[in-house]
């Protein structure tokens, strides 16, 4: 994952219900809060109104190292601190929609990480710090990410066999009804059992860490329902790859689909490539500005690039282009309830026309076909 500074077993039904409210894998999203607003997690829904995301993850808090006491401690940078301290506007509105909010924990180039606690007592002490944070800020759990630790720095030890098992065991005892997840990456991936105790018996979920790929995390104790082999970076993984990975997830009955790097701008068109496969519904964005409008999509089933929301009015091609519309390009659209859209093949509201009063997922099904021929519109 780029950037920095940032017991219950796999049977998770009671600690992490499906926020989407429909059958299908849980959608998980990481937000780089150094540059993006965590509250955006709650602005995405399916067309029927249920939240798109089941789990939102604050990326990230750090494991720092105190050279005087020779111990690891939990550190929040300025941006993470702002998210936590302003939870009434950043976290609680997301949770109010049924979405679980986790805090990601990773190293900070100081030699401390989840894999080199020198003793069970040291792991227990850090687990207590994590539990305190979850309880203080009203979070729903912790996500572990074994990156950026630079093991050995400041005279710290190298990864050992017991550290991660001790850590998740202690945290599970402290937080029996919260979510613990594991971003499948780093030395921790080969240190998942110790003295007969497995990490998979203590965590709820694990997911692939390499974006744009399909890879099943090898975490003994977790079933397909608790694993996410598909991982995408919203801002860099192609739409076709995102859709293909969604198809693999659904066809192979895996329970998690991981997305990373939710930006501040509207990416509902991209996310629709995923949700159309997983839930048979497009993704809708509510930016919270009170602006409502029509959205055109590049592909059928609300796929590909999308326009921004277009309010009521009469639009020539030049006027539509200001909203991201492309001539002879649209293949589907979403229409707010009670609105009417009249589409024309030519500029200035001439040529063949179609009148639509509801969402239309496939312009090729109109008679005559309206696919890739719309140039101007009236929205009433």
Q: Is the separation of the CB atoms in 228 and 292 below 8 Å?
A: no
Supply the DSSP symbol for 67.
T
DSSP secondary structure letter of residue 48: T
Q: Is 240 helix (H, G, I), strand (E, B) or coil?
A: helix
Could you tell me whether strands 332-334 and 230-233 are parallel, antiparallel, or unpaired per DSSP bridges?
unpaired
- The pair of structure tokens assigned to 336 is 């707010």
Q: Is 32 a catalytic residue?
A: no
Which SS3 state, helix, strand or coil, does residue 168 take? Answer: helix
Q: Tokens 């539509």 correspond to what residue? A: 320
Quick count: other Cβ atoms within 10 Å of Cβ 121? Answer: 10
Residue 291: CB atoms within 10 Å = 11
Q: What are phi and psi of 340, to 5 degrees?
A: -125, 135
Q: How many residues are present in the chain?
A: 380
To the nearest 10 degrees (0 to 180), the angle between helices 120-137 and 163-174 is 40
Q: What is the C-alpha to C-alpha distance for residues 94 and 113, in angstroms, rounded to an integer? A: 29
Q: How many CB atoms lie within 10 A of CB 30?
A: 28
Is residue 217 within 8 Å of residue 208, measured between CB atoms? Answer: yes
Task: Point out the catalytic residue in the list 6, 13, 129, 147.
Answer: 147
Q: Which of 123, 222, 134 is nearest to 169 (CA)?
A: 123
**How far lies 20's CA from each of 23, 58, 260, in Å?**
8, 19, 18
Question: Which residue numbers are catalytic?
Answer: 147
């Amino acid at each position: 994952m780029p950037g920095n500074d940032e017991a219950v077993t796999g049977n998770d039904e009671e600690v992490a219900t499906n926020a989407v409210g429909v059958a299908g894998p849980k959608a998980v999203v990481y937000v780089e809060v150094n540059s993006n607003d965590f509250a955006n997690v709650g602005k995405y829904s399916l067309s029927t109104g249920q939240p798109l995301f089941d789990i939102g993850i604050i990326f990230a808090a750090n494991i720092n190292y105190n050279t005087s006491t020779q111990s690891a401690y939990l550190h929040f940078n300025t941006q993470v601190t702002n998210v936590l301290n302003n939870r009434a506007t950043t976290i609680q509105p997301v949770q109010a929609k049924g979405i679980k909010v986790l805090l990601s924990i990773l190293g900070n180039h100081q030699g401390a990480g989840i894999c080199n606690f020198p003793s069970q007592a040291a792991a227990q002490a850090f687990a207590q710090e994590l539990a305190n944070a979850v309880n203080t800020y009203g979070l729903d759990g912790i996500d572990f990410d074994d990156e950026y630790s630079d093991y050995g720095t400041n005279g710290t030890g190298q990864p050992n066999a017991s550290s991660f098992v001790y850590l998740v065991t202690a945290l599970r005892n402290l937080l029996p009804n919260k979510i613990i997840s594991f971003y499948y990456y780093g030395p921790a991936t080969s240190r998942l059992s110790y003295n007969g105790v497995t990490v998979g018996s203590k965590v709820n979920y694990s997911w692939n860490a390499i974006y744009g790929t399909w890879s099943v995390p090898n975490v003994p104790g977790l079933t397909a329902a608790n694993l996410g082999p598909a991982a995408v970076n919203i801002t860099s993984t192609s739409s076709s790859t995102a859709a293909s990975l969604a198809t693999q997830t659904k066809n192979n009955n895996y329970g998690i689909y991981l997305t990373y790097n939710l930006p501040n701008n509207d990416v509902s068109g991209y996310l629709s490539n995923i949700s159309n496969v997983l839930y048979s519904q497009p993704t809708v964005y509510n930016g919270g500005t009170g602006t409502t409008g029509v959205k055109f999509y590049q592909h059928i089933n609300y796929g590909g690039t999308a326009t921004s929301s277009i309010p009521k009015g009469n639009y020539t091609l030049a006027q539509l282009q200001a909203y991201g519309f492309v001539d002879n390009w649209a293949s589907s659209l979403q229409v707010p309830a009670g609105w009417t859209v009249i589409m024309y093949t030519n500029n200035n509201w001439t040529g063949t026309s179609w009148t639509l009063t509801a969402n239309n997922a496939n312009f090729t099904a109109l008679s005559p076909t309206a696919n890739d021929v719309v140039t101007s519109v009236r929205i009433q």
